[in-house]
């Protein structure tokens, strides 16, 4: 009678898989030459983003000081500065629209060119790491995949707890809904509720920025699953 042999996982195998998955998730595409338009927009975006972060830090410091010294002028300053930070964040969101102008021009002239360029880059960059995963211990790959998938879902849910599911509602519709809700009641709100309310667009912005991270994690998970499926097909063919 055959005895049941439980699967074994060695820490060294897990570390090896983690290293490959880390490279697979964080790998960068080689940058193509940038046009003058793109370089100017990206430079302006970095400046606006830097000013917004500085303003956000100043808001936090001034809000703390206004609370400590019970100063109404400081509270008013925080409100004005919060509005300026919100406007800067909105201005930073315009840059992707401006950067996409050359993309849409190319899309109009040759609709599938950007898609196949991106596809070619991804396939070339990922192939070597997928082959490495196929050569790793299967149980270690399954183990790392289970944890990676869990952290991916937890990361998304934390963002949803702060700003809701923007992938279902959309960033700009969420801002419009926030404005429609807050503007009629603004004069009736307590001063501290106003300050907290102005943080809502900032949470929307952070959740919007996190989409790129979740997209890369989804790509890595899909490729890990592919490596396991390819290994299983190879084992069945060998039998």
**Whether the predicted model's global pTM rises above the 0.85 cut:** no
Distance from C-alpha of 94 to C-alpha of 10, rounded to nearest angstrom: 49
- For residues 136 and 69, is the Cβ–Cβ distance under 8 A? no
Per-residue pLDDT of 96-132, as tens digits, reads: 666 666 666 666 776 677 677 788 888 888 999 999 9
Mean pLDDT over all residues of the chain? 76
Q: Beta-carbon neighbour count of residue 29 at 10 Å?
A: 11
Measured in Å, how far apart are the chain's first and last C-alpha atoms? 22
- For residues 133 and 20, is the Cβ–Cβ distance under 8 A? yes
Cα-based distances in Å from 120 to 22, 27, 81, 95, 193: 21, 15, 45, 26, 50
Per-residue pLDDT of 191-233, as tens digits, reads: 666 666 666 666 666 666 667 788 889 999 999 999 999 888 8
3-state SS assignment for residue 30:
coil
- Model pLDDT, residue 58: 78
Distance from C-alpha of 192 to C-alpha of 102, rounded to nearest angstrom: 44
């Amino acid at each position: 009678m055959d005895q049941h042999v439980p699967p074994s996982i060695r820490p060294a195998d897990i570390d090896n898989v983690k290293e490959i998955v880390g490279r697979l998730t964080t790998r960068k595409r080689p940058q193509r030459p940038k046009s003058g338009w793109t370089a100017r927009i990206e430079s302006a975006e970095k400046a606006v983003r830097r000013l917004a972060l500085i303003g956000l830090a100043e808001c936090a410091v001034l809000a703390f000081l206004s609370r400590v010294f019970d100063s109404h002028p400081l509270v008013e300053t925080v409100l004005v500065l919060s509005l300026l930070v919100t406007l800067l964040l909105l201005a930073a969101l315009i840059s992707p629209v401006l950067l996409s102008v050359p993309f849409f021009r190319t899309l109009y002239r040759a609709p599938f060119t950007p898609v196949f360029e991106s596809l070619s880059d991804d396939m070339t960059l990922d192939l070597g790491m997928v082959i490495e995963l196929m050569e790793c211990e299967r149980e270690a790959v399954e183990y790392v995949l289970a944890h990676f998938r869990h952290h991916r879902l937890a990361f998304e849910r934390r963002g949803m707890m702060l700003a809701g599911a923007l992938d279902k509602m959309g960033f700009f519709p969420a801002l419009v809904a926030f404005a429609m809700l807050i503007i009629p009641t603004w004069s009736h709100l307590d001063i501290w509720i106003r300050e907290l309310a102005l943080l809502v667009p900032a949470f929307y912005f952070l959740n919007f920025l996190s989409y790129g991270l979740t997209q890369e994690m989804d790509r890595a998970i899909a490729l890990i699953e592919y490596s396991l499926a390819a290994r299983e097909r190879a084992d069945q063919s060998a039998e």
